[in-house]
Amino acid sequence: MTLNLNKVSDAYFDRIFASKRTESPVAAEITARVLLVDRYTTPIISMCYTQSQLLSNDIILVELIESQNTLNVMKHLNCIVYIKPTKESIQSLIKELANPHFNSYRLFLNNTINKGDLERLAEADEFEVINQVVEIFQDYLIVNDNLFTINLSEPLIAHQVNPVVEESNSLVSLLLSLKKCPIIKYESNSLELKRLSSEILYNINSNSNNNLFDDLNRKADTPPLLLLLDRKNDPITPLITPWTYQSMIHEFIGINKNIVDLKDSKEQVTLTETQDKFFRESMYLNYGDLTDKFQKFVEAYKKETKQSSIENLQTQNLSELKKMLTKFPEFKKLSTNILKHLNLISEIDKEISVQNLWEIGELQQTIICELDNHQSVKARLSEILDKPQVSTVNKIKLVLLYSIRFHNTNELTLFINKLNNPLVTDPLPTVSQIALLNKFKTMFNSNITTSSNNNNNNNLGNIFQNRKININNLFNNNKNNDPKNDNIYLQYTPRLNEILNALVSTSQQEATSSIKSTLATLVPDNVAAQYGSNVQHNPVQDIIIYIKGGVTYEESRLVYGLTESNRKINIVIGGDTILNSGTWLTELYDRVNDTSTTHEDDGLVDRRKQLREIL
């Protein structure tokens, strides 16, 4: 079975909003319902379910359980409660049960609830208004079919919840929702992953006592794999300018829980592959194919609306007239969607032009994939650093890539001096940015690798001699999302590509063996009992990837391409956040500043507050 997060979500929400057969006869007569959620489940629903879908399921009101003091008594409504079983949400529900605002309650918890909290709820239900209690497992956010994030929010820290335990609980809920009991592999050089993997193993083994993980793999010939990776082992991928649609939107505009704020039009738009056919078909397209597809999309709309215009309808019979008129709401929706994507693509196009990204993006690929010799790359980088029109941040990203590729301290000093020249750099780099440039090559492990075609083409350096270039000549069609292609802007592939190829490969090549040796393995009791002692050497088909420190949309695109080219492999990927270059640079500045934390007068003085500047 293909790992598809949206199908999991649909199954869960069908269950939550199912017919009221479990309710009492009196409650079943009530049609309208209210949905009571908490701050954790609100984004889960909003990213998977539209307002019209809620209305179609008789949900006429959505309220926060934390705000029950402001609720009106509405005994003519039944209530569906969908919350995360945290201490604060359970306490809020207990307060609600002490003074019920609604007729009856069906309780759905998005993760496992402990016995003590369940007993407290039972004791609080003096009016016997709870008709049903169900554990479902969606303690994570679904972004794409193959992409998720977990929601480690500040309230957890405020309530002194161990973040490792909470992270583990969310990942275990993901495993249960996918019905997988996996072996666990993690990068052995990461202490954070060692702690997380141990907690997940303990969680799986202890939940096995509750039969939650029993028989999950009964139909699988090979065990699934939970692959835990650390962003620190690939600091390069978030710095590379992306050239595919969803990635570019996040890089240039920003996507927050599938919502995009369009600054020029001062409106918010929603991006979801389940509700937007054009986005679903275009999200992984490179910029050249995207513009071509959008043009065809607009032309098809014009042709369809012209044929269905009022003038043309005058010659139709009544049945044809009725048929055509019913299409007009659909045309209105389609035109709104066209306008949305026109605004998005226009904003991307503007950013590419303003930031001079044709040249910068090509040089990024050349540096990191070694598409030209060292001296030529140095000369080209020096030339760009002398251009006042290139932003400070883009200059810094180029120097970071250069420093990690060529490791030359003298050249780095030369480049930093250029950056500090107010005649060519505005604004001047901050203290944090200079500190990052000096420390970047030593901050991370020395085993950082990159992937490229390794075909040095002498003509690549001359691609920008003619500035009037056709976009489609640069972005060759790459329908299968093959990481190896002739597109100058898509030469780089994330380190994840090498790891996945090593895991699914049956060869014993030295490179494959070397990558596998960096991964430690933990095997849950159920998996060992079912597959035997050599379980970790079995071929892999189902892979669930979690990147601690953040995942990128480009890694999601890579996963999509691999599964499309090999239908025997099923992969989903996620992280604790979705990065773009801006958020990753902010994280890097924080890491650099944390190394300067000092003690003074028996108190901790955080240098981050002194050094960090707003870009």
pLDDT per residue over 150-161, tens digit each? 987 554 444 557
Least confident of 14-18, 33-37, 390-394, 494-498: 14-18
Is 143-234+494-579 assigned to CATH 3.40.50.1910?
Answer: yes
Per-residue pLDDT at 373? 94
**Collapsing DSSP states into helix, strand and coil, what is residue 263?**
coil
Q: How confident is the model at residue 612 (pLDDT cuts 50, 70, 90)?
A: very low
Q: Which residues pair with 259 in a beta bridge?
A: 256, 270
Residue whose token pair is 């529900």 = 93
pLDDT in tens, 288-327: 999 999 999 998 888 877 765 555 555 555 565 555 556 5
| Mean pLDDT, residues 556-568 taken together | 93
Per-residue pLDDT at 453? 44
CA distance 247 to 285: 10
Equal CATH topology for 5-137 and 143-234+494-579: yes
Per-residue pLDDT at 28? 56
Q: Are 476 and 215 in contact (CB under 8 A)?
A: no
Q: Which helix (H) or strand (E) holds 171?
A: helix 163-178
Q: Are 2 and 28 in contact (CB under 8 A)?
A: no
Question: Does residue 479 surpass a pLDDT of 50?
Answer: no
Question: Does residue 137 surpass a pLDDT of 80?
Answer: yes
Residue spans of the domains in the chain: they are: 5-137, 143-234+494-579, 254-259+269-354, 356-490
Least confident of 43-47, 153-157, 539-543, 591-595: 153-157
- In Å, how far are 258, 274, 376, 533 from 147, measured between CA atoms? 12, 13, 39, 32
Six-digit token pair at 123? 């004791």
Choices 3.40.50.10170, 3.40.50.2060, 3.40.50.1000, 3.10.20.10: CATH for 5-137? 3.40.50.2060
pLDDT in tens, 149-203: 998 755 444 455 788 999 999 999 999 999 999 999 999 999 999 999 999 999 9
- In Å, how far are 268, 278, 293, 608 from 297, measured between CA atoms? 22, 8, 6, 48
What's the pTM value of the predicted model, to 2 decimals? 0.88
Per-residue pLDDT at 266? 80
Least confident of 379-383, 456-460, 480-484: 456-460
Q: Are 121 and 92 in contact (CB under 8 A)?
A: no
